[in-house]
Structure 1
Amino acid sequence: MSRTTPPRPLDVTALFPQLAPLARTATRLHPRPGSPSVHDSSVGGPLLWPADEPWPHCDEPHEEYGANAGPSPEDVRLLRRHRAAIEERRRREPQGPWATPEELATDTRLQAGRPWPEGPVAMLPVAQLYVRDIPQLRTLGPSEADLLQVLWCPFDHPANPRPVLFWRSVAEVTDILGAPPEPSALQFSDYLPDPCLFAPEQITEYPNFLELSKELQEQLSDWNRWQAAGSAVDSSYEPAPDEFYLNHLSVSPGWKVGGWSNWGLTDPMPRRCPACGTEMEPLLTIASTEWDGGTESWAPIEDQAGDPLPPGNPPANFTGVVLARGYGMQFHICPVSPEHPFMELIQ
């Protein structure tokens, strides 16, 4: 499997040379449904977890809303299988019926949720990334580490799942944990990733418009400066050419490693390391959608042969993960030491 980002509509540094020194490499991960093993870089797959290392649990308090929490992970998997079966029947027989009575009864029962868990909650595997597949990680993590693992508590803290990161050396994992524990319930089914494999691809990014100097912002907002690019610039952006830069030339959407931070829920904010005060750098972005109606130019060439915007809410969501009604979680780490606390932002 491979995914290829189409060339950008134009070389933005030819029009705005001040952007050239701000270029950064990002690795788009392009998660797509698959059947990963512990030896694969993946979303929602099994982790290469040492058998003699305790599985992480969340022991922080969880606020209870309503009589029950959400469904269990296995309930969610069954509900998603039913949904896929219904969609397939709808495609084959548009006049229906699409759901069986058994499916409807089971779905009604499972959607009622499970009791709120008591005590520590087993964390969910979210992603693991091998350095051999994503070499950019070698410059971001500990020198001896060649694997990054991400898990989170499937309950809000206070408004999103609480994540943990583990860097490890693959050679040190000799006996692998075969059946890790799962939480008895999830606050939201969107916190359970569908198993996906990655198709990593390195690209070049430029800063979000809001992180640029006032001088550059003014230049990018001047439609006359874009005229040298001719028809490569979509004329519908004439009232706001900075939006053309934002949507098509700066920060890529979707799951990725490195690059520049995306902003949208808030304006840019300081990301200072709590241990040493150094400005932190983007490590990993977990996204609710791989692209949307405004960023379709980033859709990989291989995906454009079919539906340019795969259906769903949000669209182009292959992992099943939805955060903050369609935003993403961005992890930042300290460039001085990856051992310093990380920071996560919802944007």
Structure 2
Amino acid sequence: MTRTTPARPVSVDAVFPELAVHRGLTTRLHPRPGQPGMYDSHVGGPMLWPDSEPWPVCHEPHQRETEGYKPDEIRRARAAGGRPPKKPWPDPGAPGENGPVPFVGLAQLFRRDIPGLAAGPDDADLVQLFRCPFTHGPHGDRRYRLRWRRTAETECAERFLAVPPEVPLLRWENELPEPCVLHPEEVDTYPWAEGDTLPAPLIARIDAWDDAQVAEHGHGAPSYQGDLSIPPGWRVGGFPSWASTGPMAIACESCATPMRLLLTAGGDEMDAASHSWVPLEDRDPSLRGMASVRGGQCLAQPTRLRFGRDRDLHVFTCPANPRHPPRWVLS
């Protein structure tokens, strides 16, 4: 099923015509629980991974854990609509400290499926995203990894990995992605309005408009950040959201080139402040506003993943040289 973002509550062109020169495109991925295959773009599904190639592992020291959840019990509990039981760590103090930890495959995206997906090194057209399931250091930092591939070469492998390695326990349920199929859709997007992301007079006009909407319509009034600028959830390209940190200048650590946003991974596809972005196919046409939204957790939190304290994970790459290391920013 396709997913169609509704028209914005107000016309951006009519209210802020000067934003036209700042308009961009982002591809909303619209993940929904399903059964993707290794040849599909997906979140949480099987990776197109040659059997002869080692699965990525994290060799760094990890935080000590005392309890967690078995991956298979998480899957069974989700299927039954319940919660998995916690288990004591089988070897307290040792997860990852005395050996490598396999990364968890979060997503893979083919450029043939995703409009606007930037090319990787050597014109790679498939990108795979991984996260270490454990935290690092006193601040609970995370480790991510990208694997770029050229699809035509990868598909020529004789055999593919059927079951990737897993750790016996995960610290949190939201470390395990729910397999989701994607419904890519290109939509207009506009920069976050704060700091120097837009001209100062325009940001002042946007702030004044937001205040006027609240004064006229009260709670739930449309706002620029919530309804007009950047859609929530998983998306490719476009502009980063800066709700938690405020705008940041992201430069390549190898060559100082300003980096571009490759991908945003979000834990939530909607909340009360962003419900206007919920696709038409996920609404009851006889109702209006938040009351029209249907789908429950499968819509609001389809991937079951979390990034930081309910933040967005922005993945930036270097446009000057895709071989330069990516940067990971939680905001």
Q: TM-score, normalised by structure 1?
A: 0.83
Q: What code does the residue aligned with 2:69 have?
A: P
State the match for 1:230 in structure 2.
none
When the two chains are superposed, the root-mean-square deviation of aligned CA atoms in Å is 2.6
Q: 1:239 to 1:30 in 2, by over 3 A?
A: closer
State the match for 2:288 in structure 1.
none
Q: Select the residue among 304, 308, 311 that pairs with 2:293.
A: 308
CA distance in 2, matches of 1:322, 1:224: 29
Which has the higher mean CA deviation after the structures are superposed, 36-45 or 5-14? Answer: 5-14
**Contact 1:38/1:46 (<8 A) preserved:** yes
Matched residue SS, 2:281:
helix
Q: Deviations over 1:146-175 (max 9, x none)?
A: 211011111123435311001101121223
Q: Select the residue among 166, 190, 202 that pairs with 1:216.
A: 202
Q: Which runs of no fewer than 5 residues in structure 2 stay unpaired?
A: 285-290
Q: 1:316 to 1:128 in 2, by over 3 A?
A: same
State the match for 1:163 in structure 2.
144
Which has the higher mean CA deviation after the structures are superposed, 178-187 or 51-60? Answer: 178-187
Q: What code does the residue aligned with 1:45 have?
A: G
**Contact 1:255/1:285 (<8 A) preserved:** yes
Q: Select the residue among 184, 187, 197 that pairs with 2:171.
A: 187
**Contact 2:27/2:115 (<8 A) preserved:** no
State the match for 1:95 in structure 2.
none
Q: Select the residue among 194, 211, 223 that pairs with 1:244.
A: 223
Q: 1:236 to 1:320 in 2, by over 3 A?
A: farther
State the match for 1:153 in structure 2.
132
CA distance in 1, matches of 2:276, 2:210: 23
Q: 1:56 to 1:123 in 2, by over 3 A?
A: same
Q: What code does the residue aligned with 2:79 have?
A: R
Richer in helix (by share): 1
Q: Deviations over 1:243-286 (max 9, x none)?
A: 71111100110100001000111111110110111111111111
Indicate yes or no: 2:241 matched with 1:262: yes
**Contact 2:58/2:102 (<8 A) preserved:** yes
Q: TM-score, normalised by structure 2?
A: 0.87
State the match for 2:287 in structure 1.
none
Cα deviation, residue 119, structure 1? 0.8
Q: 1:148 to 1:237 in 2, by over 3 A?
A: farther
Larger radius of gyration: 1
Identity among equivalent positions (%) equals 39
State the match for 1:61 in structure 2.
61
Which has the higher mean CA deviation after the structures are superposed, 34-43 or 111-120? Answer: 111-120
**Contact 1:5/1:299 (<8 A) preserved:** yes
Q: What code does the residue aligned with 1:296 have?
A: H
State the match for 1:13 in structure 2.
13
Q: 1:76 to 1:160 in 2, by over 3 A?
A: farther
Matched residue SS, 1:340:
coil
Which has the higher mean CA deviation after the structures are superposed, 161-170 or 178-187? Answer: 178-187
Q: What code does the residue aligned with 2:106 have?
A: V
CA distance in 2, matches of 1:127, 1:309: 25
